[in-house]
Amino acid sequence: MTVKTTLSFTDRHHRFLTDKVGEGVFASQSAAVAAALEQMIRDEEERGIALDAMADEIRARMRTPNAEYVDPEDAFAAARARIGVVRQG
């Protein structure tokens, strides 16, 4: 179903749309706006997936027993040693 609506654009946006239609990138300004909206929808869906994955990882790490955590001093000792060598070098 297609719905007819009225949109307002800045001069910059209107010029961009007109140029893209003129270049043949889009069949019409409506097609360009529809493509932009589809991209926004995909971006939002991907952001939701990424946020859900991050939340799952945080929950999994919260269930990790303290004894399994790596001491930060041990974790970064090798990196600190390499930095020290480079600085002295």
Residue 6 lies in a domain: no
d(CA 31, CA 28): 5
68: containing domain: 11-88
Residue 4 lies in a domain: no
**pLDDT (tens place) for every residue of the chain, 89 residues total:** 889 999 999 999 999 999 999 999 999 999 999 999 999 999 999 999 999 999 999 999 999 998 888 888 888 999 999 998 889 87
Residue 38 lies in a domain: yes
Domain count, the chain: 1
Burial tier of 33 (Cβ tally within 10 Å: 0-12, 13-18, 19+): middle
Residue 42 lies in a domain: yes
Residue 3 lies in a domain: no
